[in-house]
Amino acid sequence: MRVGLVGCGNIGVKGHIPAYARIPNASLVAVCDADAERVNSAALLTGAVAYSDLGDLLEGEEVDAVDICTPPRTHAELSIQAMDAGRHVLCEKPIAHSLEDADAMIASAAENGVRLMVGQVRRFDDRYAAVKEQIEAGRVGRPVFIRRAERQFLPFPPDAWQWDPAAGGGVILDIGVHVLDLLRWLFGDEPVEIRAVAQAVRDSAREAGSFDHAMITCRFDGGGIGLAEASWAHPEGFGSGLYASLDVVGSEGKLGYSDQDSNPMLVFDEEAGAELPRYFGLMSSTEYAFEAQIAHFLDRIRDDRAFLVDAGDARAALAMALAAQESAVTGDVVAFPTAADGSGDGTHGAAVSRRPRNVGV
């Protein structure tokens, strides 16, 4: 399978590009980025041909698939361009910046007879896949409460797109969409209402008018309650060995996971004190999860079987994140007619970019 990758920034270079080198039946033949320094560096790293424009890549290379690793506001345009050219698409999360764009992407895949998968990579992480297996095996009975936290100090500069609500959406659309997808997946159920409180704590968030810390409560159709914490506001250096925690309380037991409790080593010296070594280059997930995700995408293109996470799942996660963003701004509980199948009225159809009302001190 010949693949072209678009977007040679953080997640493209640290998450996706190394994975292709470990997948024997895949060849990364082209890389594309508007930033000449980034794309040339990626080309030197991979041996792929460098392009500054997706259209040129599609004309110049016989690729079977395009891997989109650009900011969310560009996902729809680039994905549809690739699918209109008859290429399958793997797109980073969130699927898009609005439900209208997500629906346009799903429609384009159907119209062009190609496959579209979105990178909700937590589902390919062995740690959370094992929790899902235990739930489905009935080890804790019916899940009634799930708490998930993902916390760090975002090391990107103030002008990075992640802070910009019009480009990335802030912490709720960036990290929250992972957490909310995980809750929906683990419950195996659809949300009926969402409420969020959020803050702009760091100067970068305040200046951009976005949130960098959010607490989101989700009630699901079967009665389950999910609590999600997504944060970029923790102290600098926080995250190594402390990034993630997960509790699943069931009617007959409990499952738990935390980076801190699962870290295989604790180092202590007189100068630095206690330290939990960092074992993965990306705090968001393990490197092998990206490899498993990309290999799954390519395998399902070959055998035409269903994806583990399809575009409808990605749309549902986006709808939940947009509802949380709306709730954080307005202070209201947001009701959900249906998040999964696109039959709602479009109430939560665009990223909320108004300045946050719940501003930390």
CATH code of the domain containing 269: 3.30.360.10
The side-by-side arrangement of strands in the sheet containing 2-6 is 49-51, 27-32, 2-6, 65-68, 88-92, 116-119
Same domain? For 76 and 146 the reply is no
Q: Decide if 174 is inside a domain.
A: yes
Of the ranges 161-165, 176-180, 260-264, 322-326, which one carries the lowest mean pLDDT score? 260-264
What is the pLDDT, as a whole number, of residue 341?
Answer: 46
Over residues 105-145, the pLDDT tens digits come to 999 999 999 999 999 999 999 999 999 999 999 999 999 99
Q: How far is residue 29's CA from residue 52's CA, in Å, rounded to a whole number?
A: 14
Contacts of 135 (CB under 8 A, 6+ apart): 143, 186, 188, 248, 250, 255
CA distances for 18 relative to 46, 125, 144, 330, angstroms:
9, 16, 38, 41
What is the pLDDT, as a whole number, of residue 284?
Answer: 67
Check residues 280 and 222 and name the one with the higher pLDDT: 222
Same domain? For 185 and 323 the reply is yes
Same domain? For 98 and 152 the reply is no
CATH code of the domain containing 9: 3.40.50.720
Over residues 272-327, the pLDDT tens digits come to 777 777 666 676 678 899 999 999 999 999 999 999 999 999 999 999 999 999 99
| Residue 2 clears pLDDT 70, i.e. is over it | yes
Q: Decide if 238 is inside a domain.
A: yes
Same domain? For 89 and 139 the reply is no
Same domain? For 28 and 70 the reply is yes
Same domain? For 128 and 199 the reply is yes
| Mean pLDDT of the region 217-227 | 97
Average pLDDT, the chain: 91
For the chain, what is the domain count?
2
Helix (H, G, I), strand (E, B) or coil at 217: strand
Q: Decide if 75 is inside a domain.
A: yes
| Mean pLDDT of the region 37-49 | 97
| Percentage of the chain modeled with pLDDT above 70 | 92
Q: Decide if 161 is inside a domain.
A: yes
Angle, helices 99-112 vs 75-84, to 10°: value is: 10
Q: Decide if 48 is inside a domain.
A: yes
Same domain? For 142 and 249 the reply is yes
Contact 198, 215 (CB under 8 A): yes
What's the token pair of residue 255?
A: 């499952």
| Residue 358 clears pLDDT 60, i.e. is over it | no
Over residues 324-348, the pLDDT tens digits come to 999 999 999 999 874 444 444 334 4
Task: Let me know the angle formed at the C-alpha of 352 by 347 and 356, rounded to the nearest 5 degrees.
Answer: 135
What is the pLDDT, as a whole number, of residue 348?
Answer: 47
Q: Decide if 53 is inside a domain.
A: yes
Over residues 242-267, the pLDDT tens digits come to 789 999 999 999 999 998 887 777 78
Asked which of 73, 101, 119 is the last residue of a domain, the reply is: 119
Q: Decide if 308 is inside a domain.
A: no
What's the token pair of residue 164?
A: 């910009």
Same domain? For 42 and 178 the reply is no
Same domain? For 70 and 207 the reply is no
Q: Which domain holds residue 54?
A: 2-119
Q: Decide if 168 is inside a domain.
A: yes
Asked which of 53, 86, 119 is the last residue of a domain, the reply is: 119
What is the pLDDT, as a whole number, of residue 283?
Answer: 64
Which residue type occupies 39?
Answer: V
Same domain? For 115 and 158 the reply is no
What is the pLDDT, as a whole number, of residue 320?
Answer: 97
What is the pLDDT, as a whole number, of residue 279?
Answer: 67
Same domain? For 114 and 135 the reply is no
Same domain? For 109 and 206 the reply is no
| Percentage of the chain modeled with pLDDT above 90 | 81
